[in-house]
Amino acid sequence: MLHGRTTETAAIDRLLDGAREGRGGAVVLRGEPGIGKSALLAYAARRGEQREMRVLRGAGVEGEGELPFAGLHLLLAGVLDRLGSLPGAQAAALRGALGLRTEAASGDRFLAGLGVLTLLSELAAEQPVLAVVDDAHLLDAESLRVLLFAARRLGAERVAVLLAVRGGTGDGDGPDTPGLPELPVGPLDAAAAELVLASAAGADRLPGPARALVLKEAMGNPLALLELPAAQRSSEHYASPYGVACLPAHSRLLRTFTDSVATLPPATRTVLLVAATDERGRLDTVLAAAGRLGAGLDDLEPAERARLVRVEDGRVRFRHSVIRAAVYQGAGTARQVAAHRALAEVLAEAPGGAAGGALTGGGGSDGSGEDCGADPELARQRAWHLASAATGPDAEAARLLERSAEHARARGGFDAVAAAYQRAAALTADPAERGRRLFEAASAAADAGRLEQADGLAREAGPYLADPVRRARAARLRAAVADEQDRSRDAHAMFTEAAGEVESADPELAGALLFQAAQAAWHAGDQQAIERSAERAAALALPGAERITALARVAAGQHRLEPAALADGAGAVRELLSSASGSDSPTALREQVRLGWWHLFDGRTDQAHELAAAVERRCRETGALGVLAVAQMLLARTQLMLGRHRDALTTATDGLRSAEDSGQARVRIHLATVLAQLAALRGDEDACRAHTEEALARGIAPSTVHAGTALAVLDLGLGRTEAALDRLTALAASPDRQGIIAALPDLVEAAARLERPERGRTAEGWYREHAALGGQPWARALALRCRALLTEDPDTAAAHYEEALRLHQQDGGSPFDLARTRLLYGERLRRRRRTAEARTQLRSALHAFEQLGAAPWAERARGELRATGESTAQAAGPGPLDLLTPQELQVARLAAEGLSNKDIGSRLFISPRTAGYHLSHTYAKLGITSRTELARIAF
């Protein structure tokens, strides 16, 4: 019976009821050890079974954090026979992750997550599903990421997920679970604590002062309330009510369990220690290892009677993870080493184990040292036990750990790779080998997104790397981490120093390092540092020096905006474009995105869009979610510039989720500025400010410029022209104004509307030079609009507007920009009393603004039309497609192309059932009933 948990149980019941009704969801229970999370999970499981739900149970196990996907395997152990029903790529990725096949799949981690989502969806089609995972903070990183990936995407699934994690929100103790609602599990109140204590075994025999002490020391922790009474009776430490130190709950519980274990017979403690040391607690393995230390099955009985462990499903299970920790930590180093060594010996002799197998390199049938029958999981566990048993350098254990690291790499387990290489380095006596292994650990940590760890490991590797090339590569990794952490000035210095160390030994590496130094300087807004990198590369005639020089020229054009700098920068962009090469590897896909940005700098928005769309498709096909977000950053920007606002909203919204999954903060912020600009066009002030807040706080261009521009466009649309002009003038005067060129026409318009043409002339000149260099019709149209706004002679201004309208309608233009030119021209025609011509322009502008959902601009056009005497211009309601959410729009488009729900799910990283759910809502909103009708709609 649960006492004092009415709020928590009600929330769990709501989650289960919602899942049974097709509203899938997930909740994270977060609280300190012993606070009752496991009891709440048990309550959820009972309620799920009462509601005829299929209950999947999993748990994190201390010691398995280095074993990729171990936790996922435990959760799905009973439904692995259903993997054959999954789409091929998902099934292959999930089998690879779970060690059910040897070859690796492309995009393992994210396809595995999608596979879990699809598997849960398939199970839920037959029976509602509840997945409960206890001690999720102990899960291996890969399992946790995959489960969070699936849990965040439960939409129309009859699936509920409950994760219990240690720690309080924001206190740094326990994993982050972004995107999932949390249910804090706090201490019991005094009344509930009294009831729990009353139910504790032997509590009725405690004297009054001891009961008061238990209540005081437990501080509302249910596990403490249940365990401390026994400690009060049997432990001398607790005999005196004044002898208890004021320690954190975790420490008190640990000490309580240590005292409880200490009263057991020595052989029982030995069996418990082996069970605590074995990652999975398999009974046969535990007994075999314990037998080598003089203990056996009968010795488990006292521990079972003490309710410390139970044996079920062939495993020794500790009642609480703190008990396991107490057993292991209280054993002492010598006994821990003996337990690890015994387990390593047992695993070596197990069928399919590592003895003579793949990891030991001993005597494969073909003499190659590879045994295809060896179980890589057992081999990896043996390697870790040998490493844990080592008391000094151990070349064999280090070699086996390195082999286990490479096996983990094939499964996409970068966290496990880093851990194995780091431990292998600690066991390595040879300095050069130790440095190499530390560097491999650092590289894997960076791939896993653990930037602080990567930096620390690369720094540690440095002194052991005698070879300057290897030292430079370690420094390069540290510099790349610094750049990713927005310490770009530090990164520039580090790249530069590393280049200096290998100028003679490896000129090609030195050139690459100086290119990265120049990029870091660009990120920092330091034009002089970029130029210094280019000058140094040119003086040393390093390979790739011309690329660095080109990059410096591009940056100069972006920052200075002077005619000569703009012209030189435009030529340099074309040089960078001509030197690019394509490939289909993940690394090359990132390079393709960078190529797309060069196209954008050159004014080739259509080419940039096509390239970004192609990379995005390839990322979805391969499950490369990390690169997907980078591609969507470019794609959303080009869609915005091309006036495809509905597409940009869909891409940026989905991209934010992709970036969150990949931990790409910089990408996320850039995508947020796209959403900010879309919100500005709609006149949604709250959304616009929310999406710009982080970019402005970080203060790094071009995101700051995009954010400021969004706010200025919002001001322009809402009639706050003075505020818009001040904001844009400040951005244009900033020394770090990368990205400002696109906002210059807005600055000119604001200055003209306030009749302060002098404040817009410099911006008009910059933009005219930029448009002439690029030669793109849409850019020349905007330049002509700017000239028209600042031209006093009405006939000359009209000629500029007419030519601008002609250019706008050529390929590559934005319908929003065309509508704004029509609006400005119509306003000028109306002031000149050319009413009929003004109405023509204003009607076209109004229609375009309404189609684009640009409400403030539509209202401005409508007001101008009324001023011409046209009284029939009423606000148009949203079109059918405007009623669709970004996710519904994505699903509808793919369904219209003929994709099945399974195909749509694979493409969008959602389940087939959720795809069907969105499609049914789309049908209702569009007033249709079939895919045939859907295919006739122009998206």
Q: pLDDT digit string (tens) for 270-307?
A: 999 999 998 788 899 999 999 999 999 999 999 999 88
* pLDDT value at residue 845: 95
Q: pTM to 2 decimals?
A: 0.71
**How far apart are alpha carbons 225 and 248 in whole angstroms?**
15
* pLDDT value at residue 166: 84
> Hey, is 25 helix, strand or coil?
strand
Of the candidates 18, 281, 30, the one whose C-alpha atom is nearest the C-alpha of residue 134 is: 30
- Per-residue pLDDT of 705-718, as tens digits, reads 999 999 999 999 99
Contact by Cβ (8 Å): 891, 908: yes
Q: Which residues of the chain have pLDDT under 70?
A: 63, 101-109, 168-174, 201-210, 230-252, 321, 352-374, 411-413, 448-449, 579-587, 622-626, 661-663, 811-812, 872-879, 909
Q: Extract the tokens encoding 400.
A: 């086996």
**Backbone dihedral angles phi then psi of residue 56, each to the nearest 5 degrees:** -105, 130
The torsion angle over the Cα atoms of residues 95, 101, 107 and 109, rounded to 10 degrees, is: 50
Instruction: Give CA separation, 287 vs 275, 279, 611, 625, 654, in Å.
Output: 9, 14, 60, 44, 51
Q: Is 450 left (phi over 0), alpha (psi -120 to 50) or beta?
A: beta
* pLDDT value at residue 579: 67
Tally of CB atoms within 10 A around 812 = 17
**How far apart are alpha carbons 842 and 834 in whole angstroms?**
12
How many Cα atoms are found within 13 Å in the side-chain-facing hemisphere of 600? 25
**How far apart are alpha carbons 846 and 597 in whole angstroms?**
32
Contact by Cβ (8 Å): 451, 481: yes
Element holding 159 (H helix, E strand): strand 159-166
The torsion angle over the Cα atoms of residues 432, 438, 439 and 443, rounded to 10 degrees, is: 160
**How far apart are alpha carbons 140 and 293 in whole angstroms?**
30
The residue with tokens 């999930």 is: 94
Contact by Cβ (8 Å): 369, 399: no
Compute the C-alpha angle 826/829/834, nearest 5°.
Answer: 125
Instruction: Give CA separation, 123 vs 80, 636, 690, 801, in Å.
Output: 11, 35, 39, 62
DSSP code per residue over 846-878: HHHHHHHT-HHHHHHHHHHHHHTT-----PPPP
Between helix 744-753 and helix 703-717 the angle, nearest 10°, is 30
Q: Label residues 670-707 b or e (16+ Cβ within 10 Å = b).
A: bbbbbbbbbbbbbbbbebbbebbeebbeeebbbbbbbb
How many Cα atoms are found within 13 Å in the side-chain-facing hemisphere of 290? 27
The residue with tokens 């994709």 is: 899
Per 3-state DSSP, the chain is made up of helix, strand and coil in percentages (nearest 5) of 70, 5, 25
What is the sign, positive or negative, of the torsion defined by CA atoms of 575, 581, 587, 590? positive
* pLDDT value at residue 380: 83
Contact by Cβ (8 Å): 537, 549: yes
